[in-house]
Structure 1
Amino acid sequence: MIHLSGGRRPLRARRDSRPTISRWAATAAVFLGFFVMLFALLAAGSPGEAAAGGHLQPTTPSADAGTPTSTPRLGEPKELAICQQQEPNTLFIYGGPSRGARNVLEAIYDGPIDTLSYEFQPVILEKLPNLDDGDAIIQTVQVEEGDRVLDARGGVVQLLRGAWVTDADGRDLVYNGGTITMPQMVVTFTLRADIVWADGQPLTADDSLCSFELSGEFKSPSVRLLCDRTFDYEAADEQTIVWSGVPGYVDSFYFLNFYYPLPRHVWGLADADTLTMAEVARRRPLGWGPFVVEEWAEGDHITLVRNPHYF
């Protein structure tokens, strides 16, 4: 039986119940144990600590404790070799890059939107657009026969009589001609002002517009998916891109509808077929990420070096 007295009635531990003690008694026991341990440590001391008069003295390391025999050298170049199963097929983002190519592209580009702990994070954008902040909105627009819309089945179609569509009030209906209202998403993206290409030139909204214009020349389903659902993509100013979806397309991931910037000042007005085979696009693409391609020895290695303009 445990018996502790305090300001309350003593409590006893019985075999048929768990022992319980008062809060005061528990606190007293903790402090008592602490002082017992402290006294034991002070009494025992440690080798080299006790001096005449019983006072504690700081210890000093012995002569044979060992001292550093060398000083680390800073500023030495560092190399990291990474082995992949396959050589990249192309580094052109619209050329159908393989898994090995995408690994290299991660070093050349950064973002523009990444994921961290299962959450999307802006990299070269000021922020991700949000309906609550007003840089993403759902507006009501009027459409008529012949307009490009998203039908009730999720396909992009030309609005004709007999088409099933969802109107601005969320009702599925059969289009019978005339003018009807439908929802349309408008999303505004703002680029960070401190982002530059690896050659030092500013990265602007026009570079993202360049990417959108090129995407329309490719037939890949992954590229066409967003392109077909885009009603308009315009550069409002040097740092601002405005994406508008086709009427009826209300996208849950609207904040991802930003096109990878491509360097218009380097590629100019080159078309898709030219860029697919061009060295400047498929082997030495200009990016804004932490590394740039210095050398590609086919069948052997690709050398990346630090981008001095990386943010």
Structure 2
Amino acid sequence: MLTAMLVLILSACAVENNYTLQIPLNEDPGPLSTPVPSPEPKKILSICLGEEPYSLFIYGDQSPSANIIRQAIYDGPVDLVNFESFSTLLEEIPSRENELVRLTQVEVFPGQRIIDAKGNLTILGNGVVFSPSGCTSEDCWESFENQPSVFLDQVEIIYPVKSGIVWSDGTPLKASDSIFSYRVAIQIYGLGGPGKLRYTSNYELLENEEISWKGLPGYLGLYS
């Protein structure tokens, strides 16, 4: 009995002595790769329009469709939100009430550009029907016939540029930037460009970061 037990113990010890313990090595897994983020889906802005504008350049297409799209592209100077105007680049929106829209009487001589009584851009000369200064109806229209000069009304608008506004690169926005933009547009279009250029008589920089726009004599579109 003891012999049998001894054999069992020795057999058990022999089995344990022949067992090889496998110990995992601490291998260096190497640098972990940076996970690549999933690409974000493209965002689509749907705008319902009556027609497709032919240009989105600020001095180009002036149709309602183009102006609607430009609200999402350009920041100001005036944004239209829920059919209300909000100033973004100006201290305040020019109006007759705040006296930033003014009407003055100017003397005009033959050969100068004017806006005639029917709103057409023309040169003052014989046969041109014009609206003299102070005239508010067709009853006081006159026809130019060899006069040395006539007096017409001229609109001036003052634009006070807001301070503290910067471009995307951090450069401060200045009123002179708008003057530069106007001069570039004149080089592109000349006098045959869109209405905002055709009806302009003078666009100049004033003090205190203000801009003065003067329309051609006889143009009252921004004052009436």
Question: Which TM bucket (shorter chain)?
Answer: 0.5 to 0.7
Corresponding residue for 1:249? 219
Contact 1:148 1:156 in 2 (8 A): yes
Contact 1:215 1:224 in 2 (8 A): no
The aligned length equals 174
Matches within 5 A, 1:109-148: 109-148=74-113
Q: Give the % identical residues.
A: 28
- 1:182/1:200 CA distance change after superposition, 3 Å: same
**Which consecutive residues of structure 1, in runs of 5 or more, have no partner in the other structure?**
1-78, 255-311
> Following TM superposition, where does structure 1 have runs of at least 4 consecutive aligned residues deviating by more than 6 angstroms?
none
Aligned partners of 2:110 and 2:191: how far apart in 1?
27
Corresponding residue for 2:169? 199
Corresponding residue for 1:161? 126
CA deviations on 1:233-253 (whole Å, 9 max, x unpaired) are: 001136211000000001247
TM-score, structure 2 as length reference: 0.66
Aligned partners of 1:153 and 1:202: how far apart in 2?
42
Q: What is the deviation of 1:147?
A: 1.1
**Which consecutive residues of structure 2, in runs of 5 or more, have no partner in the other structure?**
1-39, 47-53
Aligned partners of 2:98 and 2:89: how far apart in 1?
19
Q: What is the deviation of 1:108?
A: 5.1
CA deviations on 1:159-187 (whole Å, 9 max, x unpaired) are: 11111100003121001121111000011
Aligned partners of 1:90 and 1:169: how far apart in 2?
38
Contact 1:186 1:244 in 2 (8 A): yes
Q: What is the deviation of 1:90?
A: 8.1
Residue identity in the other structure for 2:218: G
Corresponding residue for 2:42? 81
Q: 1:183 aligns with which of 153, 156, 168?
A: 153
Q: Within the alignment, does 1:210 sit opposite 2:175 as a pair?
A: no
Residue identity in the other structure for 2:121: V
Give the 3-state SS of the residue equivalent to 1:125 in structure 2.
Answer: coil
Q: What is the deviation of 1:218?
A: 3.7
Contact 1:125 1:190 in 2 (8 A): yes
Give the 3-state SS of the residue equivalent to 1:167 in structure 2.
Answer: coil
Greater Rg over alpha carbons, structure: 2
Q: 1:230 aligns with which of 195, 200, 222?
A: 200
Contact 1:205 1:237 in 2 (8 A): no
Contact 2:116 2:128 in 1 (8 A): yes
TM-score, structure 1 as length reference: 0.49
- 1:209/1:221 CA distance change after superposition, 3 Å: closer
CA deviations on 1:19-73 (whole Å, 9 max, x unpaired) are: xxxxxxxxxxxxxxxxxxxxxxxxxxxxxxxxxxxxxxxxxxxxxxxxxxxxxxx
Q: What is the deviation of 1:94?
A: 4.7
Q: What is the deviation of 1:128?
A: 0.7
Aligned partners of 1:230 and 1:81: how far apart in 2?
42
Q: Considering only aligned residues, what root-mean-square deviation do their CA atoms show, in Å?
A: 3.4
Q: What is the deviation of 1:127?
A: 0.5
